[in-house]
Copies of this chain bind each other. A is one copy, B any other.
C-alpha cells in the first residue's frame, strides 16, 4: 500500500471531470501527482490531454510531459500545444528531458521548437541532441551544482543555495578548479559537518567513478549500480565536467535493456514498441520468421532424406515431434540462463568453459530421464523395445546438443563482440530440430531396418 495508487476509479474520475467545467477539472487534477497524471494520460484522448496540460501550471505541466512514457509520445502532445505554452513548458523542462522528447521529432519540427527558445536554452539542447541516445552524453543532464575547489565552507554553502534555485534535485556537489577541470565530489552533509571555515580542497573526495559522453548506457548503469551512487559525472578528454547522469535515468535504462533482451531472445527486433501497432509488429517480426523458415527447410530436408525409412516405420513422425520439441525447449532453457548470466557478470574463460560443461551434464541427465519415459511408452504402447532404444538415444543426444548450443553459442557470440541475446530461440532450435531428426531417423534406419 501507499498513499498514491491509481486504478480504474481514477481513470473514471478524470473522465467524468472532463465532462464538467475547467474549474471543476482543475480541482480534481490537484489530487494527483504529476507522474500519476502522466499515467492517466495513457487512457485519455488527444484533445483531453491538451486541455489538461493547458489547465495545469507550467511547473506541473512540464513534469507531466517529462514523466510520460516514451511510448505515449510526449513529443506529439508538445507539438499540438499553442507555441507560447509549448515554449514555456520546454524552458521549464530539464535539458536532458527536453532533449529526449525533442529528439523524437522530425528535423523541421525540432527547428521550430528550438527557434522559440532563448539562445542559451536552444544551444544547450542542440548540443545534447548531438550525442547518441544510448550513451552517457544522450542521458546526461547539464544542470548540476558545481563549486570551486578554493571556496571556503561558508561561501560554498552560499554558492550551493544560489545554484539550487535553478536545480530542483541534487544529491552530490561537483568540485571543479578555475579551469572547470573536474576535481571530485563533496556531499552537502560533509560540508555542513565540517568544523570551522575550512576550504573545499580539504573535503573533496577525488577518487570517484566517471564516464565519457560516448560511454554506452549499459556501462553507465553498471557503474551506478556497482558503486551505489545517485549520480555519475560525465567528463570530456580534458577532464572538463560536461554533465551528470542520475540514478533515475539508470532505472529507465535497466528497464529498456531488459525489454531488449527478452525480445531479442524471443526473435523480436529490439526496437519494436511494446504498444506499437500491427504494422510495426509485422516489420519487426517477419524478417525473423523468414529466417526461421529458411532454417525450417533445413530440418525439413533431413526428413525428406529419410522418407523411405518413415514409409517403413509409420509411427516415426509421431516420435519426431517429441524429440524436436523437447530439444527446442531444453535449448531455450540453457540459452535463457546463459544469456542472463552473461548480461549480469563478466565470465572468465574458465567460467565459460565450466558453464558449457555444466550444460552438457544437465542435457545428458534430463535427456536420459525423459528419454527413459518415452522408451517405456514405446515398449508398452507400441510394443517395440528396439524403437524405444532408438528414441532413448535420440532424446539423450538431442538434449546434449541443446545444452552445448544453448550455452555455447551465446558465449561464442559474446567472445567475438556480438550481443549474445541475438542467439535467439530461433537460431538455437534450428540445431535441435536438425540434429534431433538426424539422430532419430539415422538411428532408426540403422537399427530398425
Interface residues of A (CB under 8 A from B): 1-4, 6, 8, 11, 33, 35, 39, 42-43, 67, 69, 157, 160-161, 164, 169-171, 188-189, 192-193, 207-212, 215, 219, 223-228, 230, 232, 247-248, 250-252, 254-255, 258-259, 261-263, 265-268, 272, 274-275, 277-278, 281-282, 285-286, 288-290, 292-293, 296-297, 299-301, 303-304, 307, 310-311, 314-322, 324-326, 328-330, 332-333, 335-337, 339-341, 344-346, 348, 351, 358-359, 361-362, 365-366, 369-370, 373-374, 377, 425-426, 429, 433, 437
Contacts and interface: CB of A to CB of B under 8 A. Distances in A.
Contacts of A6: 346
A67 B362 CA distance: 30
State the majority secondary structure of interface residues on A.
helix
Contacts of A8: 348
B296 A325 contact: yes
A410 B17 CA distance: 33
A142 B332 CA distance: 42
Contact of A433 (B251, B325, B351): B325
Contacts of A171: 171, 230
Report how many copies the assembly holds.
2
B209 A225 contact: no
A69 to B, nearest CB: 8
B289 A321 contact: no
A303 B317 contact: yes
B318 A303 contact: yes
Nearest to A328: B328
A180 B164 CA distance: 31
Given A188-B192, A268-B333, A282-B365, 4 more contacts: A2-B219, A69-B345, A225-B255, A321-B324
Contacts of A232: 2
Contacts of A315: 304, 307
A43 B268 CA distance: 35
Nearest to A377: B297
B42 A345 contact: yes
Contacts of A377: 297
